[in-house]
Chain A
Amino acid sequence: MTALLELRDLHAGYGQTRVLHGIDLTVDAGGVTALLGANGAGKTTTLRAVCGMVRTTGEVTLAGERIDNRATEDIARRGVAHVPDGRGTFMELTVEENFKLGAYVRKDREVTSDFEQMFGYFPRLRQRWKQQAGTLSGGEQQMLAIARALLLRPRLLLLDEPSFGLAPLIVQDIFGILRQVREAQGVGILIVEQNANLALDFADRAYLLETGRIVVSGPAQEIREDEQIRRSYLGY
């Protein structure tokens, strides 16, 4: 397997505050990597570092090309789609306009057929087509955020707590769709989740972050089955 995303000795922070202290992490092409850790560990910051939303030192490599300290919009144009915490949809605009913006940088002619594909994944979005995104339910907004990200036709999808604030049934739905997406599109995924069980079930690789350092890493299945790790870090 070749690496799609590689972080090497990645440091990041906000102003004077250092948050990440040298992170090494890999997402395989078409693979799913889970990033776990307590509140404030630096998970969101890691995703922001990948897409150039915070200043970093160290290496970020996407399919062999260094992308660290490039502008966020250039990283997006290289096929990195980010569903940030807080979702990153355009609340004031309609579902239709959010779709169009998701595909903003694409020049190919398959955009409309991809819209149909998104309706296949998320039929409720078709009914909300002309509605302002801010008026959607929380679950619908998360669906829209994922659809918006997929419409970039990304090579790498960054997901920040996609289950946050959603009812268990909707969470199941969304993870079911993420599995389909992974199969159908071969997109690599880096997912941050509070729900460790859910994430480890979905991922093939996992990392555990503690105050800006990786403390455990390995195949997701091994971590899931390791009593010791579960008790001391994941708390269940």
Chain B
Amino acid sequence: MQGLAHQLVAGIATGGIYASVALALVMIYQSTHHLNFAQGEMATFSTYIALTLINVGLPYWIAFVLTILISFAMGVFIERVMLKPMHNASVLANVGVFIGLLLVFRNAMGWIFDYTIKAFPSPFESDHPLLGGLISGHELGSTAVTLGVLGIVYVFFRFTKLGLAMRAAAFNASSSRLVGIRVGWMLALGWGLAAAIGAIAGMMIAPVVFLEPNMMLGILLYAFAGALLGGIDNPGGAVIGGFAVGIIENLGGAYLVGTELKLTLALGIIICVLLVKPSGLFGRVVQSRV
């Protein structure tokens, strides 16, 4: 029982990471209908920035906030410089840009920070497990952080004027222009937010998996699976999907198939769901009368 509860809690902790990255993917997908393959590399790059800031002696939380701000600016910059000229380009041309972006980040990281595996500090006490061994300090802390981020993002999109404008720009760019929304900047802001969310996910997972240029590769796959499971065009669904994948992965890995096959298990379940519901569990079916 204790073991089950522990696997569940651990699943929620990693699920929060998947959910954050899934949300970042969906935010960009919703407004551009492209998947940002470089999302994982961008997050890893941000984590290296955090490590650099910590190594020069900044306190953890200052480095944390600075990393978020730098990542946000980086996301905005990438959209304005690399993707704005691509707005009317073909799907393949866009895929090309994303792959290019991915390679640029991967090589830049290898070159600047080298390919060796690095330890990344956790801001949370992780020496002695809490709640009678149920959860480690880092699991608890990182779950709180990811839940906090998801909550803030929800409140931003649901209750602020800027959040509403960003949603409007994603749904209907031409109508948005007609009410005066600067659609191009909304896209760039979306990129900034996605990069910032990815950076937080990177900083939260790095103490668990160690930092190296491919750190986010597996996580991006799980996050993508979560997004597909929940509905690639539904941010809330993608978040739930991310948590579900985390839990399935942990429970399945512990009780059903062993750790080697847990990715296969997670993907298998998702394929089954998609066969039944192609738009995902919570995929948006736009209600409209024509």
Binding site for B on A (CB under 8 A): 51, 53, 71-73, 76-77, 81-82, 84, 88-93, 97, 100-102, 104-105, 132, 134-138, 148, 152
Q: Which of A53, A73, A93, A134 lies in contact with B182, CB distance below 8 A?
A: A73
B290 to chain A, nearest CB (A): 10
- Tell me whether B167 is interfacial, beta carbon within 8 Å: yes
Q: Do B180 and A105 touch across chains, with their CB atoms under 8 A apart?
A: yes
A134 to B181, CA, bound (A): 21
**Given A100-B164, A104-B165, A134-B288: A92 and B171 interface contact (C-beta under 8 Å):** yes
Q: 29 A-B Cβ contacts within 8 A?
A: A53-B177, A72-B177, A76-B177, A76-B180, A77-B180, A82-B178, A88-B174, A88-B175, A88-B178, A90-B168, A90-B171, A91-B171, A91-B288, A92-B284, A93-B164, A93-B167, A93-B168, A97-B168, A100-B161, A100-B164, A101-B165, A102-B179, A104-B161, A104-B179, A134-B287, A134-B288, A134-B289, A135-B287, A137-B289
A200 to B172, CA, bound (A): 33
Residues of B close to A88: CB separation below 8 A: 172, 174-175, 178
B165 to chain A, nearest CB (A): 6
Q: Do A73 and B288 touch across chains, with their CB atoms under 8 A apart?
A: no
A136 to B172, CA, bound (A): 17
Residues of A close to B167: CB separation below 8 A: 93
**Given A105-B180, A152-B179: A91 and B286 interface contact (C-beta under 8 Å):** yes
- Tell me whether B183 is interfacial, beta carbon within 8 Å: yes
A197 to B167, CA, bound (A): 40
List which B140-190 residues lie within 8 A (CB) of chain A. Answer: 161, 164-165, 167-168, 171-172, 174-183
A33 to B161, CA, bound (A): 34
Interface residues on B, range: 20 to 34
Residues of A close to B180: CB separation below 8 A: 73, 76-77, 104-105, 152
A50 to chain B, nearest CB (A): 12
B60 to chain A, nearest CB (A): 39
Q: Which of A53, A73, A91 lies in contact with B181, CB distance below 8 A?
A: A73
A91 to B168, CA, bound (A): 10
Given contacts A73-B182, A134-B288, A152-B179, 20 further A-B contacts (CB under 8 A): A72-B178, A76-B177, A76-B180, A77-B180, A81-B178, A84-B175, A88-B172, A88-B175, A91-B172, A91-B288, A92-B171, A92-B286, A93-B164, A93-B167, A97-B164, A100-B164, A101-B176, A104-B179, A104-B180, A134-B286
CB closest chain-B residue, reference A102: B179
Q: Do B178 and A84 touch across chains, with their CB atoms under 8 A apart?
A: yes
B71 to chain A, nearest CB (A): 27
Residues of B close to A137: CB separation below 8 A: 289
A51 to B180, CA, bound (A): 11
Residues of A close to B165: CB separation below 8 A: 101, 104
B186 to chain A, nearest CB (A): 10
Which among B171, B174, B177 has the highest number of chain A CB atoms within 10 Å? B177
